[in-house]
A and B are shown apart, each in its own frame.
Chain A
Amino acid sequence: MRLADARALVPDLIPAPGEPQSDRRLIETIASWCDRYTPWVAIDPLGGALAEEGAEACSAGGFGGDAGLLLDATGCTHLFGPDEAGERALLADLTQRLSRLDFTCRVAMADTAGAAWALARYAERQADLFCPQRGHRAALANLPVEGLRLDTPILETFLKLGLRRIGDLYNMPRAPLVRRFGEQPVKRLDQALGALDEPLEPRRLPPAFRTRLAFAEPIGRPEDIAAATSRLLAALCRQLEQAGVGARSLEIALYRVDGAVDRTSIGTSRPNRDNPRLMKLFEERLGELDPGFGVELMILAAPEVEAFSGTQDTLPDSGVLPASLSEDGTIDLADRLALRLGAENVVRLLPRDSHLPERVQTTGPAAEPAADNSWQRLAAFKGPRPTRLLQRPEPINVMAPVPDDPPRHFQWRQHTHRIVRAEGPERLADEWWRPRPDGSRPPANTTPPYRDYYRVEDDDGGRFWLFRDGPYALAANGQPTARWFLHGFCA
């Protein structure tokens, strides 16, 4: 319908431009709100306005336009009551809460996603919206054929042929249908009737472990939220213990009365199901959550879990995890620091077998220290090393006798250091067996590039670690080509 026609029908019509982006965001918000009923929520991929470019879309028509959500509530209805009563209560609760937030909605429940889709849009009576178990075949029979989610050309042909009800297709021979209309009608019918599986793609990966706590009255005080979190944690830790796993990350979601959902998560460096320790990590984060006008539901989930056998003693020489680390609180400390500063900022120093000074020291996760004495063994093979190593060697101006003598003076940051004592050179060559950072291999059969390192002491007693990059040589203009760098400071 064009705007002029609409104005003719309703003179005081207020036009507003469409905003598909905002619509999409709103649907996303409602979808994350629906996580309170089930972790398995998908946005209807066939919603024409919401479908991504080039995706298979169909203009659904019927009630409520084409935006829709699909919820897989299997195993979730017991929270609202036993069996069918629970399912009906969930439907009623969902409808009531959405209408309280000023959304008009139609919610249907059936054994298959296809049947629920059709019922929500084309059921004529309110009572038909809930389809009891195994009743979907009968319920669908009377619905218009539009409920099958067909492409528009196929749908128009169906209507021309007089196939108006879904039930009309039940007894049609399938082979001619496929020959005439392609796979789609048969596939959709099978999906709606449950003969063909139709998996939903959840928006977020459903966590294997979750607990929920609903409040009769909305809560808002920080201490209440902390108390509720601790109760949820206790329940979740019991679940984890029964399954023999520990959580690597935990997420808590606050469902507020105004329909918004606030989430925050914590991570641990090794599997954990220790209630007080996890609670301590949550205490850091709970302050960031905004309870708004009140929180009516909290869900705690463990999206990442790992096998965890509990606090079992390891043999002293097993080498993997020194048991003392977790006992003396170092791991907890690392977790707390990583939570605030980022895991990449809380690290252990690990040795690496290399000749190049900048490659020797690397970093690793806080929970996995290097083996005892591995550093000492490594240091025993090396010459004198600086206590601080510059991330990037700094170029210096040097006056040095040729060809291999240590420098007499060097100028660094506008100050000249007169060198009184010197040691060296210690020649460190490029590691030809290792590919270069750009992926190329060093050329074979040539002398690899090398650096000559010197430890020097200036007349003030300052000790430095310098190197000359490459051999001494003279350029055409008589200037030496080798460049000198300052690489570190010695004790």
Chain B
Amino acid sequence: MPVISPNAFAPPAANDTAGLVAADLRERVRRLERAHSVQRVGQTAVPVGVPAIDALLSEGGLLSGAVHEIEAGSTPSGRVAPHDGAALGFAAHLLGRFAAIKPGSTLLWCRRPFGTFDAPPYAPALAAWFDPARLLLVSVRRDEDLFWAMEEGLRCPGMAAVLCETRAADATAGRRLSLAAEKSGVPALLLRTQPAPVQSICTTRWRVASAASHSTPGLKDVGRARWRLELRRNRFGMPSVAEIPTWIVEWNDETHCLSVVPQAHHGSTGADHVARALESRLVG
């Protein structure tokens, strides 16, 4: 008859080492995943500036030397948003974060204007995130030129980040961008006005939609900009409880920082929405 020693129920003596081993193994798996590129060694991770979000990202931030996609999401009512003001705001915030760690560097912004309906980025508003004097704005006529200009920008050592507004999703071009970014350590941001196909190569993909802001109590003024932020892809990152981690974040244009709005207050739930719609109908 086997004797059950009390030791069997006690926590194993080597508990600490097991934990260490597990952490070590996890670390090794992560390194293996990234082993295809030797150049990653010199890369830094730039925090987004929101602890809750940074905790999920690998190394606690967005990797420089990687491709990050930001796409405009649909509105709460399910309609495709007519513009990407929110996505642009978040992209500008990331540009500002990347620019801040590399003083004196340049930001490259590539875009393809489309005629009289064109709405180019407007520097007086972008000044909240970074100094627009550092921006080099490139307009192209063809998508090939767009990716070519981006690659050239990624090879330039004095570049803090390269952003490209595009609707095109070219897998080969995406792969080339990702390799160029890995080699130089310059981050590439793709800003899409429409949701992108899933198979594109990027390290993180964000979907940003504008969310209802919070007025001053008693007034109906436009509050601070709020965005509904979804992290749709998070390569090398930490696993999260939610399938798609989603936050409502608020940009404070006085303190210049981004913060997560507690769920009880963000007021984007359907019921709240209906209530407000009713209220405005009653008032109107």
Among A456, A461, A490, max chain B CB count under 10 A is at A461
The 30 listed contacts between A and B (C-beta, < 8 Å) are A324-B104, A325-B106, A328-B105, A328-B156, A330-B106, A333-B136, A333-B156, A337-B138, A341-B138, A345-B138, A345-B140, A360-B124, A375-B131, A376-B127, A384-B222, A386-B122, A387-B126, A388-B83, A388-B88, A389-B122, A415-B79, A457-B213, A459-B77, A459-B280, A461-B226, A462-B81, A463-B222, A488-B119, A490-B222, A491-B227
The answer to whether A408 and B284 touch (CB under 8 A), given A387-B88, A489-B85, A490-B85, is yes
Contact A329 B158 (CB under 8 A): yes
Q: Which residues of A contact B88 (CB under 8 A)?
A: 387-388, 489, 491
Q: How far is the CB of B85 from chain A (nearest CB, A)?
A: 4
Apart from A361-B122, A491-B92, what are 11 other A-B pairs with CB-CB below 8 Å?
A341-B140, A346-B136, A349-B137, A370-B133, A387-B121, A390-B117, A422-B222, A459-B276, A460-B77, A462-B82, A490-B85
Interface mask (A335-372 → B, CB under 8 Å = 1, otherwise 0)? 01100110001111101000001001101001001111
Q: How far is the CB of A250 from chain B (nearest CB, A)?
A: 20
| B35 interface residue (CB < 8 Å to A) | no
The answer to whether A325 and B222 touch (CB under 8 A), given A376-B127, A388-B122, is no
Q: How far is the CA of A325 from the CA of B159 in the complex (A)?
A: 10
Contact B85 A386 (CB under 8 A): yes
Name the contact of B135 in the complex, choosing from A337, A348, A372, A462 (C-beta under 8 A). A348
Contact B133 A348 (CB under 8 A): yes
Considering the complex, give the chain B residue whose CB is closest to the CB of A417.
Answer: B82
Interface mask (A378-417 → B, CB under 8 Å = 1, otherwise 0)? 1100101111111110100000000000001000110100
Q: How far is the CA of A366 from the CA of B228 in the complex (A)?
A: 35
Contact B123 A361 (CB under 8 A): yes
Name the contact of A375 in the complex, choosing from B83, B86, B124 (C-beta under 8 A). B124
Considering the complex, give the chain A residue whose CB is closest to the CB of B210.
Answer: A461
Considering the complex, give the chain B residue whose CB is closest to the CB of A415.
Answer: B82
Question: Chain B interface secondary structure, helix, strand, loop or mixed?
Answer: mixed
Among B85, B131, B215, B268, max chain A CB count under 10 A is at B85
Name the contact of A371 in the complex, choosing from B118, B126, B133 (C-beta under 8 A). B133
Q: Which residues of B contact A263 (CB under 8 A)?
A: none
Q: How far is the CB of A161 from chain B (nearest CB, A)?
A: 70
| A418 interface residue (CB < 8 Å to B) | yes
Q: Which residues of B contact A99 (CB under 8 A)?
A: none
| B225 interface residue (CB < 8 Å to A) | yes
Considering the complex, give the chain B residue whose CB is closest to the CB of A391.
Answer: B118
Contact A463 B133 (CB under 8 A): no
Among B75, B119, B273, max chain A CB count under 10 A is at B119
Considering the complex, give the chain B residue whose CB is closest to the CB of A399.
Answer: B284
Q: How far is the CB of B216 from chain A (nearest CB, A)?
A: 10
Q: Which residues of B contact A376 (CB under 8 A)?
A: 127, 131
